A and B are shown apart, each in its own frame.
Chain A
Amino acid sequence: MALDRWIALIILMICLAYGYAAFFTMDATLPPFMQRNPVWPSTFPKILSVSGGLVALSIVLGLEKHTGVGKEPDIEYTRLGDYKIGQALFLLGLMVAYALCLRPVGFLGSTMFFLIAGSVVLGERRFHIIIPVAALASGGIWYLVQEVLGIFLRPWPFFLGV
């Protein structure tokens, strides 16, 4: 089974779970005064789950015939190994690490680390360029956001106060 049909199957499952939640779990807790409304909070989800499920099912079963010539995909997912999948996964990991570190480590430290590590992963080795650029960018953005725009961003690690 091709990837697009697997995805449709997963979406079908999501629709079923969503539909279960909409049909069986939401209405019982509805306060009486809201029950007099023509549209309940669960009305739209019910419609969506049924129609979404039907469309997903039609893709899973391959009802729609592909009339168009299949255009060359940008990336052939069956040969992911031929691409720089390692770099991509590493960058995704880096983004997760950034999300987890942003608060405790502070904006300046985590941003500099993210930008430097990101460049290094992609094969950049000119450290005398990377480090100043990363420092300048994180400092500049921090100044813009915190000082000019007044949106709080913790600059330093948690143990330095602020």
Chain B
Amino acid sequence: MAFKPVVLWTDALIYLLVAVVLLFVWHVRRNQHLLVPWRRVSHSASGMAALTVLMFFIIIGLLDTVHLRPAVGNANDGAREQAYSVEVLSLLDLIATPLRVRVEKTYSAPFAAHLYARETVEFPDGRQTREFPRLKFGGAHLQDPEAQLITDVALRAGAGGGLGLLVWSLLLILLGALVARRSGETFISALSAIRRGTTAIPWNAVAIVLLLILLLCGAALTLCGNYHILGTDKVGQDVFYQSLKSIRTGLVIGTLTTLMMLPFALLLGITAGYFRGWIDDVIQYLYTTLSSIPGVLLIAAAVLMMQVYIETRPELFDTIAARADLRLLFLCIILGVTSWTGLCRLLRGETLKLREMEYIQAAHAFGVSHWRIISRHILPNVMHIVLITTVMDFSGLVLAEAVLSYVGVGVDPSTISFGTMINAARMEMAREPVVWWALLAAFSFMFALVLSANLFADAVQNAFDPRVRTLSAKIGTLRRKKLRKAPEGKAVSAGIEDPFSS
């Protein structure tokens, strides 16, 4: 075998999460009443556009989750056992091998052919001069960078964009065929329906966002082979590669933390609201106490303890990646433990309301056990709150990780994350001339991720929360009104002659 699969702790949990999500989707598809709010989500243009961007991030994150250890070429053949590299690589690392291994000496600006720092170069004749040396990889194929760089970049970007456009057209044709088959129209009318935005699901918004993503991806793909499109950092690593790797860290923190906090919030919140009395008092005191301690301090203390534990027991970890991963997992757990109080309070309030509902009383009158009442009557009726909170919390957690890593109690320094990138960029900002690209890359990726997560969360909240539904109904109305301005009017009053109307 050419590689050995490695399942890190966070990988296992992500696989579990994916399985749970798939199971949930399957369950929702089977139940009409669960499907209805999701249909509403799918009718929101901003929500679907955000979901498209999110899907792009999720695909990268999942690619980065499948870890393996490649075989090391063994010179003396006939080896009884295959030796594997100590380096744990993910699928994304393999795909982006050129990005990963093409390390420059130090800083270089995006699309640069020269280093960002002067160096003393010795000529063969012994003469020395200080100049910006050529990069080993970035723009190495150019004879005369000053003259050729711009046209070369433009050409390659154009070719990449063209490739993206091609893929997009293929996808659009596929989509058109699918829509046509679903609604039983012809292919052309389906396409024009998508273009005018009259389909139930706003495919036109999805298509536009998809086009943007594919154009960018295509250009990035063709360019990143020959240039460092987002520059390099202090040790010459490609910033684009770092940004891609950071996505997984962000997603892991955002999702696994929620997974950690859900059991606490659900169990304690519902129990407190349902049983009331002293149980309620105890749980309330617990979360009030917990939320009165500054979260950052608690997290710092816990992470430092963990760090000491890891460092004193190096024998537990066979690779560096496993060590870093455990620290990431532990960060998720500690974030989860400190952040369940908000959801718990919400659930307690909702349960307090629900327990007075008449169907709960009817269940009491049937002698249904407490556990069954909680699991059959209360839990399904608070799930919308859980869902809304989970999606809303996601972006907050991604940001929290960045802050914690910046403070120094976040992920392991060897784990690439938005936080570590920003932390590294801190020093660069004070440099003259300023190195701006690392910070910009981290921010723009994080911005795209958090914005799309927030927009999607808004769409979910609108669909699940009956109180805010009026607004979306109104917007829908306005849109419909615009579409059929002409036919409405006086035509409706074709009633019988009214004796009073004279």
Q: Do A and B come from one complex?
A: no
List B residues at the A interface (Cβ < 8 Å): none
A interface, CB within 8 angstroms of B: none
